Structure 1
Amino acid sequence: MTDYPEVVGLDLSLTSTGIAAWDARGDIRTHRIRSKGAKTDTWRQRRARINRLADQVTDSISFDAFVLVEAPAYGSSTGSVWDRAGLWWRVVDTLHDIGCTVLPIEPTVLKRFATGKGNADKDAVLAAVVRRYLDIEVTGNDVADAVALLDIGMHLIGRPLAELPALNRSVLEKLSVPTVEAA
């Protein structure tokens, strides 16, 4: 088991990023970072928005944290895919720079961990998370994803937040905390 000052689940979004974090005292906090843009935004406005969002996200995470971030859905072609990719890489790069261990989790792995089905929709993930983590404030789909990502990390460091069926836990067999070189 590796000790981290914080374990974080991070569901990045241009409109509502979900964050769930556990600290060494055992406290869990969740929150969302919201942003609004317009299809008519200039390149400069879009760049400023991405940078502002990335700063807000990374400023809320401790140095040397273990961060599980939902990996990009490479097959996606909707909803500002390039802007989302820019945000994702900006955040992940900054997290590496501040000494975090970063583990991207594929969307299907996140869904299977939360629901037992890799193709579950966002509402099924939300329902499963709300039922399973009664003491954690879950305020929407983005926070539900972040809580599931957080618990994946907690399982990997040997401090699970909840017991899960074997089918859900089976995704953990292919995951491990990255070494410094691999992170």
Structure 2
Amino acid sequence: MTAPTLPGLEPVRPVPASVAGAAARLYRVAGLDISLTGTGIATLGGTNCIRTKGRRADTIADRHKRQQYITSCVLDEVGTVDLACVEGPSHASMGQAGHHDLSCLWWRIVGALCEREIPVAIVPPMSRAKYATGKGNSRKAVVLEAARHRYGAILPNDNEADALILRAMGLHHLGQPLAEVPDGHRAALAGCQWPDLGAVTR
């Protein structure tokens, strides 16, 4: 039985050395899909998901410890990198429960990266989906399947898939794409907020 394919997806193809910059050093890029319940992380070592649970009865101290724990785990996983690609806030979910705490966690992690002098790129959710599937309104399940197909990765959840896509976008921006993507997918890079990477790329 033939495995189902998604429109716009191509089999995994190694990127030519001339494109990947084999003569140059490989850039260290991390992808971060920040969440209170399942923060996805992608680095050179693979993907991971930091899972936590909160309760309605949690005190301020409980909520602080939870955010402190997630932030600490993220920083340990990321280590020292040339670029961290972070998914930007989802404005469509601002009215959802926990949005206030999620905003705080997002800034805690981004702030900690800045304090380490790690350049941070902000990738809008629609740009992440467009790079993965060619469509900015693709659901997470579609992005997950696209990431599994294009990169041949074992991804147990959409959090890790999103993080991998974010990392792939950062590497592509630096001229070392993980795999070839169609022009329509590549156009998503233009919608991101990229930091000045002159010191990194020189």
Please confirm whether the aligned pair reaches a TM-score higher than 0.5, indicating the same fold. Answer: yes
Pick from 144, 152, 170 the counterpart of residue 161 of structure 2. Answer: 144
Per-residue CA deviations over 1:70-124 (Å, capped at 9, x if unaligned) read: 0011231113001110100000000011121100100010011111111111101
Secondary structure of the corresponding residue to residue 92 of structure 2: coil
C-alpha distance in 1 between matches for 2:139 and 2:161:
12
C-alpha distance in 2 between matches for 1:153 and 1:173:
12
Q: Which amino acid aligns with 1:70?
A: E
Per-residue CA deviations over 1:48-78 (Å, capped at 9, x if unaligned) read: 1011111111121123431000001123111
RMSD: 2.0
C-alpha distance in 1 between matches for 2:83 and 2:125:
18
Give the stretch that moved more between structures: 149-158 or 61-70.
61-70
Pick from 124, 128, 143 the counterpart of residue 110 of structure 1. Answer: 128
Report matched runs for 1:24-35 at 5 Å.
Answer: 28-35=45-52
Instruction: Evaluate the alpha carbon distance shift between residue 83 and residue 158 of structure 1 in structure 2; reply closer, same or farther with a 3 A threshold.
Output: same
Larger Rg: 2
Secondary structure of the corresponding residue to residue 30 of structure 2: strand
Partner residue in 1 for 2:9: none
C-alpha distance in 2 between matches for 1:60 and 1:83:
22
C-alpha distance in 2 between matches for 1:4 and 1:159:
8
Pick from 69, 81, 87 the counterpart of residue 99 of structure 2. Answer: 81
Partner residue in 1 for 2:42: 20
Secondary structure of the corresponding residue to residue 159 of structure 1: coil
Instruction: Evaluate the alpha carbon distance shift between residue 176 and residue 82 of structure 1 in structure 2; reply closer, same or farther with a 3 A threshold.
Output: closer
C-alpha distance in 1 between matches for 2:173 and 2:27:
15
Report matched runs for 1:2-151 at 5 Å.
Answer: 6-22=28-44, 28-76=45-93, 77-134=95-152, 136-151=153-168
C-alpha distance in 2 between matches for 1:138 and 1:75:
26
Identity %: 35
C-alpha distance in 1 between matches for 2:142 and 2:81:
32
Give the TM-score, by structure 2 length.
0.80
C-alpha distance in 2 between matches for 1:48 and 1:4:
36
Per-residue CA deviations over 1:101-153 (Å, capped at 9, x if unaligned) read: 1001000100111111111111011111111110x331210000001001100
**2:196 is the counterpart of 1:179:** yes
Instruction: Evaluate the alpha carbon distance shift between residue 4 and residue 39 of structure 1 in structure 2; reply closer, same or farther with a 3 A threshold.
Output: farther
Partner residue in 1 for 2:182: 165
C-alpha distance in 2 between matches for 1:36 and 1:53:
11
Instruction: Evaluate the alpha carbon distance shift between residue 49 and residue 160 of structure 1 in structure 2; reply closer, same or farther with a 3 A threshold.
Output: same
Structure 1: gaps spanning 5 or more residues: 23-27
Structure 2: gaps spanning 5 or more residues: 1-20
C-alpha distance in 2 between matches for 1:158 and 1:61:
21
